Every structure is written in structure tokens, then in C-alpha cells.
Copies of this chain bind each other. A is one copy, B any other.
Amino acid sequence: MLNQNVSNTVAALPCTSCLRHSACLGACVQDAVGAEGENACITTMTLQRGQPLFRAGDAVDAVYIVQSGALKSRRHSYNGEEEIVAFRLPGDSVGLDAIGNREHGTEAVALCSTRVCQVPLTTLRREVHASPAVASHLLDDLGREIGQLQEHLRDERRTAQVRIAAFLLAQLQRRRRLFGAQIDRFTLPMTRIDVGRFLGLATETVSRMFTRLQTDGVIACEGNSVQVLDSTMLARLADVAESFQPLARVA
């Protein structure tokens, strides 16, 4: 039961040496501030599994970018259950959804050992005016956030199997974008419980769908390690909808 609010601030590597430099809002801000040899505005922090980056109700004073690891953005539903709004993987911005608010409405929690870069909001605000590149990058990230939510909303109306398939496919594609073209094996940083709370499914249903995909030979998994055996089939299950051949394929 990790619950400490502490987070270790460590020396930041210069943004220019970061692998994700070109797609990172923070690096963009850093460039705008000016190359003073090192990171004038960006702090790096490491979180342990279960450790919050910020909590609901905290003042909004910074935006974060995931460098490695993973987080979940969550809130509490009316009946007190955890409800996961998004998973944040390397390159993602965290905390943007609170822009325009004074307090965070969601909280971000590390799913595993995770390193994030922190960009102070004052700096971001200032550079939005000073630099068209920063403004454009910020709008892009906000647009992506909105797009993700709309996509998520669309998912909510599909069957459990389709949702799981789409989820796994998205994870796969994400890894490919991050690590290379033809990865077919990856580790899910989140539990089945988390997946359920993200997709709006009971844990048992998530589990059942995983087993079904395995018996159908679409994936193989061992714990949180997933291998996609038949990505074509996975894509078909995720997209076509209305292809409810539960287990038996039509002969």
C-alpha cells in the first residue's frame, strides 16, 4: 500500500538528448525559452508504482510529460468507484485536461516506476504568447486529448469483446510507434482491474475476453505480457463491429 506523497526530483537530462525531443511539448517550451546550455525550466521526477503525480483538488501549477513508465488519470464516480479516464504512456502530456481550471479534476497515479518532466504553468503560459511553436504544440496536444476522449466515448457503445480487441490493438500500435515497426509482444503496465475501469467493464468480463482471445489464437499472454499472434484478426474484431461470432467461427 504505497501512499507517500513524496516524489524524488532528480537532475534533468538536457532535453536535446531526449529520444522524444521532437514530439515533446516540454522540449518545445525549452527551445522557446532559449538554449541556455541546460534545462532552465524543466524538472524531472521519478515516481514509484502507486505514487500520485497530483491529486484531484490540487492546484494546477504544472503540466507533465511522461518520459518513461506509465500513469493512469482517474477520478471517482458518483458511487465512489475508481474510474480511469486515460492511460498515459511515454510522450503523453499529463494534466492538460485541467487547463482552464484552477484545480485538477482528475488525479494521475504511476502504474510502475515512471519518470516525468515537469513544465511550470507560468512558463508555459508565458511561452504560449512568446512562441507560435509552443502555442501550436499546446493546441495539438489539447486536440489529441479531445480526440482520445471522443474515441473513448465511441468505444463505450460496443460489445465487451470489441472493446477489449480495440484496446489491445491500440496498445500494440502505440508500442510500435514508440519502439519500432514490428513489435508483436509487449507488457501491459496496468492490471485487468485497471483495464476494466478504463473500459467500463467488470474485471471478470475483461478476464473472460482475454481467455476467449487466447483460445481463438488471436493473442497469447502470460500475466501482463501479451503477444499478438494474429493482428489481422485482432483488427477485424476491433473494427468491423457486428461480427458477433462469439466463439464459433462460421464454417
Binding site for B on A (CB under 8 A): 75, 77-79, 83, 85, 96-101, 105-106, 125, 128-129, 132, 135, 139-147, 149-150, 152-154, 156-158, 200, 239-242
Contacts and interface: CB of A to CB of B under 8 A. Distances in A.
B241 A157 contact: no
Given A129-B129, A129-B132, A157-B77, A150 B240 contact: no
Contacts of A99: 139, 142-143
Nearest to A135: B128
A150 B96 CA distance: 13
Contact of A83 (B78, B147, B154): B154
A98 B83 CA distance: 26
Contacts of A79: 241-242
A135 B142 contact: no
Nearest to A60: B143
Nearest to A157: B200
The copy count of this chain in the complex is 2
Contacts of A200: 156-157
Given A85-B150, A149-B150, A156-B200, A143 B78 contact: no
Contacts of A96: 146
23 contacts: A77-B157, A77-B241, A78-B154, A78-B239, A83-B154, A85-B150, A85-B153, A97-B147, A97-B150, A98-B143, A99-B139, A99-B143, A100-B142, A101-B147, A125-B135, A129-B135, A135-B135, A142-B142, A145-B146, A149-B153, A153-B153, A153-B156, A157-B200
Given A79-B242, A149-B149, A240-B78, A97 B157 contact: no
Given A100-B141, A146-B146, A77 B129 contact: no
Contact of A150 (B106, B140, B242): B106
Counting chain B CB atoms within 10 Å of each CB, the highest count among A97, A105, A149 belongs to: A149
A156 B125 CA distance: 34
B149 A146 contact: yes
A145 B125 CA distance: 19
A38 B106 CA distance: 42
A20 B248 CA distance: 58
Contacts of A153: 85, 149, 152-153, 156
